[in-house]
Amino acid sequence: MLNLSPENVNQIDQKGLKSLHRVEQKKSSHKLLKVIYAFFIILFLILFLPWTQNIRSKGSLTTLRPEQKPQTINTIIPGRIEKWFVKDGDIVKKGDTILFLSEVKNDYLDTNLVGRTQKQLKTKELSVVSYTDKIQSLDNRIDALIESAGLKLQQAKIKLTQANLKLKSDSIEYQTTQINLKVAEDQYERTEKLYKDGLKSKTDLEARKVAMQRAEANKIGAQQKFLQSKNDIIDARVELNSIQAKYRDEVSKAESDKFTALSSMYDAEVDVTKMQGQLVNYSVRNGMYYILAPQDGVVTAVLSGGIGETVKEGQAIATIMPKNYDLAIEMYVRPVDLPLVQKGQKVRVQFDGWPAVVFSGWPSSSFGTFGGEVFAIDNFASPDGTFRVLVAPDKNDRKWPEQLRVGGGSNSMLLLNNVPLGYEFWRQINGFPPDFYQKKNTDIKAKK
């Protein structure tokens, strides 16, 4: 729309506006451009400043070795508290008495339990010795029986041999009498024939008859002796078998007694072994009434109080902080940063309560931080999904403050690669992980 009306409100009378004339007379556009150009030039140069990439994580102070951590002192046996020897804040040395307990179990109330058990053990040991002597006696008896059996069997075998020889002799004699009887019968028959023919007298016939009867009597006697010899052989064999059976039974009985004694001896040895274990347990238990300090340290808290209070087996009664310990930092990193962490990697640490001015990208310009290096890395994740990293003091850097205590907080920075600041901005905007370059080992001997 055209402004043709003489009463247009957009028409401004500039004659009385002196400030407007002053502003319009100044030429500020060139100065503004110079300032803008200078700002961009400085910003561009800042983008090329060196920046140390790092992984920041909060942590807490701990110790490198497990025996240096705060520990609780537990009771090994149940008992009744009789006397305390320490209080909170006391400095103790290894072996100092902390608490004295009295017995509460019925099985151990006997004050002379160890002595009585020793007497029982000695009695059982004497029983084992008695069984050993009995076994030795049985062994001697078995040896004597075996030797006597050998002699008896040898004697019986000799008798059997004699009986066999006598049987042969009687058999020959019996055959001889049979032959003599046959000859006497033939002579009698011939003499009888001659007597009938009148060639021999009746006296000769009767003499031949008497000789024949005598030969028959000799035959019967020889036969009787032959049969008696056979019976003697049978008796000798029976006696031989009887001796074998007798000594076999006696040796078997002695061996049975020996095995019974062995079984009793083994049972007694088992009882001796059990009683030896009981005696050792009783002796060790007597030494557990006094609870001692496991190492040098400071009693930080007494967890069980009062005299006459009953404590259970394994109950914690006090906590102790070791006197000498090596500090370390327990920090946690994300899984995405874990591949960038290695043992020996340098770390800058800021402790809680310790004044410090920190520039995360310029660790050399920071004040109040201390050096550290990665000591260990867990191979498994914590419940929150992070990985624990232990940081030990850097021996080449200044010492950590002596005022630090276990459990204090810290803020750690793991130093990675040096990159331009502009690249770091670009990486952060795009969400890329930090750069990390491992140093190549060019040493040929190290490679070999």
Report the alpha-carbon distance of residue 388 to residue 329 in Å, rounded: 10
Give domain status of residue 84, yes or no. Answer: yes
CA geometry: angle 156, 158, 163, nearest 5 deg: 95
Q: Among 62, 61, 56, which residue's Cα sits nearest to residue 414?
A: 56
Domain around 281: 113-286
Residues 85 and 233 in one domain: no
Report the alpha-carbon distance of residue 304 to residue 84 in Å, rounded: 10
pLDDT tens digits, one per residue of 265-275: 888 889 888 88
Mean pLDDT confidence for 253-273: 88
Check whether 422 has a pLDDT greater than 80: no
Would you state the structure tokens that stand for residue 136, as one six-digit string?
A: 């030795």
**176: pLDDT confidence band, cut at 50, 70 and 90?**
confident
* Signed CA dihedral, 185, 190, 196, 202: sign only: negative
Residues 253 and 338 in one domain: no
pLDDT at position 416: 59
**443: pLDDT confidence band, cut at 50, 70 and 90?**
very low
Q: Among 319, 357, 344, 332, which residue's Cα sits nearest to residue 409?
A: 332
Residues 78 and 61 in one domain: no
For the domain that residue 308 is a member of, what is the CATH number? 2.40.50.100
Residues 379 and 422 in one domain: yes
Residues 317 and 340 in one domain: no
pLDDT tens digits, one per residue of 45-96: 766 666 565 667 788 888 888 788 888 888 888 888 888 888 888 889 988 9
Strands 327-333 and 50-63 turn out to be: antiparallel
Neighbours of 430 (CB within 10 A): 7
Residue whose token pair is 């110790």:
63
For the domain that residue 204 is a member of, what is the CATH number? 1.10.287.620
Would you state the structure tokens that stand for residue 351, as one six-digit string?
A: 């402790």
Region of 296 (left: φ > 0; alpha: ψ -120 to 50; beta: rest) is beta
Residues 424 and 336 in one domain: yes
* Whole-number percent of the chain with pLDDT over 90: 0
Q: For the chain, what is the domain count? A: 3
Give domain status of residue 19, yes or no. Answer: no
Length of the chain: 448
Residues 130 and 243 in one domain: yes
pLDDT tens digits, one per residue of 13-51: 555 566 656 655 555 556 677 778 788 788 777 666 665
407-410: long-range pairs with CB below 8 Å, 24+:
407/60, 407/61, 407/62, 408/60, 408/61, 408/351, 408/352, 408/353, 409/58, 409/59, 409/60, 409/61, 409/351, 409/352, 410/58, 410/59, 410/60, 410/61, 410/329, 410/331, 410/349, 410/350, 410/351, 410/352
Query: Do the Cβ atoms of 393 and 349 come closer than 8 Å?
Result: no
**362: pLDDT confidence band, cut at 50, 70 and 90?**
very low
Residues 88 and 225 in one domain: no
Check whether 358 has a pLDDT greater than 50: no
Check whether 438 has a pLDDT greater than 70: no
Residues 251 and 136 in one domain: yes
Q: Among 413, 261, 254, which residue's Cα sits nearest to residue 331?
A: 413
Would you state the structure tokens that stand for residue 185, as one six-digit string?
A: 């019968």
In Å, how far are 37, 251, 281, 298, 439 from 292, measured between CA atoms?
A: 77, 62, 18, 13, 51
Query: Do the Cβ atoms of 368 and 352 come closer than 8 Å?
Result: no
Residues 121 and 205 in one domain: yes
Q: Please, what's the largest Cα pairwise distance for the chain? A: 227
Q: Find all residues with CB under 8 Å of 11, minimum gap 6, and list them.
A: 3
